[in-house]
């Protein structure tokens, strides 16, 4: 029988290991909560530690529910809408245009013969367009964090929103450009903060609080039913 913890309506699976020396909490792709613990950790210690992580858990689950509710396989037909910086824009499939995919104040237009490779065109558009936008935002936010990234790139990061390297490079997922500016800012600040504070310790969150004063104001357990939450990530967990 597997070991579980139940806290405030949440069920957390406990996985113990003789090789582990620290506690760790993860949110699996399916939304399952897993506590990784040393073999000899007491139940009381596990409960106390897990309770202190509830805010983190709710942030992860809130946005995961919101985004997964919107996720479906697009058909790339006229009338579908695609998000850019939190705003929905209609798609028009047109018989002919110079580029496979274009964007203007009226929305997206996709050339009919490009429908089969539409995902690649959207990914490329978000990456190219997003690179300029993200770099501009990062320059502004970097001054507030005191971080100095050596490079910043927008690319496909799979299930992560962003990551950073020991050499100061910041990587941002192209899918971030589909989120609101406020949530995008949180991810960018999160990664910039890691250039100064590599772990999620008190100093790291103190830096977040200085840069984004209300970054966790919408992440209290009572607010998780709202459509989106600022300080959250989903299965694309920030590094």
Residue 74 lies in a domain: yes
Instruction: Indicate if 74 and 47 belong to the same structural domain.
Output: no
Q: Which of 48, 61, 31 is nearest to 220 (CA)?
A: 61
Instruction: Indicate if 137 and 202 belong to the same structural domain.
Output: yes
Looking at residue 39, its pLDDT comes to 92
Which residues lie below 8 Å from residue 165, measured CB to CB, with a gap of 6+?
171
Q: Which two tokens stand for residue 131?
A: 């690179």
Q: At what angle do helices 118-145 and 181-196 cross, to 10 degrees?
A: 60
- DSSP, res 42: -
Instruction: Indicate if 47 and 74 belong to the same structural domain.
Output: no
3-7 and 10-17: which strand pairing?
A: antiparallel
Residue 132 lies in a domain: yes
Looking at residue 215, its pLDDT comes to 61
Instruction: Indicate if 137 and 19 belong to the same structural domain.
Output: no
Dihedral angle, C-alpha 15, 21, 24, 28, nearest 10 °: -40
Instruction: Indicate if 130 and 31 belong to the same structural domain.
Output: no
Q: What is the mean pLDDT of each run of 10 residues along the chain (239 residues)?
A: 81 89 81 88 90 78 63 84 91 95 93 95 93 90 86 86 88 89 87 86 82 56 29 29
- DSSP, res 11: E
Instruction: Indicate if 35 and 79 belong to the same structural domain.
Output: no
Residue 60 lies in a domain: no
Instruction: Indicate if 153 and 105 belong to the same structural domain.
Output: yes
Residue 59 lies in a domain: no
């Amino acid at each position: 029988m597997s070991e579980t913890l139940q806290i405030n309506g949440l069920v957390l699976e406990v996985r113990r290991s003789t090789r582990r020396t620290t506690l760790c909490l993860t949110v699996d792709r399916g939304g399952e909560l897993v506590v990784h613990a040393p073999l000899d950790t007491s139940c009381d210690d596990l409960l106390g530690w897990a309770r202190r992580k509830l805010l983190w858990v709710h942030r992860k689950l809130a946005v995961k529910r919101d985004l997964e509710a919107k996720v479906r396989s697009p058909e790339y037909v006229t009338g579908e809408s695609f998000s850019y910086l939190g705003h929905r824009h209609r798609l028009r499939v047109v018989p002919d245009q110079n580029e496979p995919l274009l964007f203007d104040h009226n929305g997206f237009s996709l050339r009919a013969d490009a429908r089969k490779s539409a995902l690649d065109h959207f990914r490329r558009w978000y990456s190219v367009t997003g690179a300029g936008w993200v770099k501009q935002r990062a320059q502004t936010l970097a001054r507030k964090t005191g971080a100095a990234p050596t490079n910043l790139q927008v690319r496909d990061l799979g299930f992560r929103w962003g990551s950073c390297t020991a050499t100061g490079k910041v990587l941002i997922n192209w899918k971030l450009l589909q989120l609101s500016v406020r949530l995008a800012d949180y991810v960018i600040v999160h990664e910039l903060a890691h250039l100064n504070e590599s772990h999620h310790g008190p100093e790291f969150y103190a830096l977040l609080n200085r840069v984004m004063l209300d970054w966790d104001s919408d992440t209290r357990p009572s607010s998780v039913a709202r459509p989106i939450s600022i300080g959250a990530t989903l299965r694309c967990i920030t590094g």
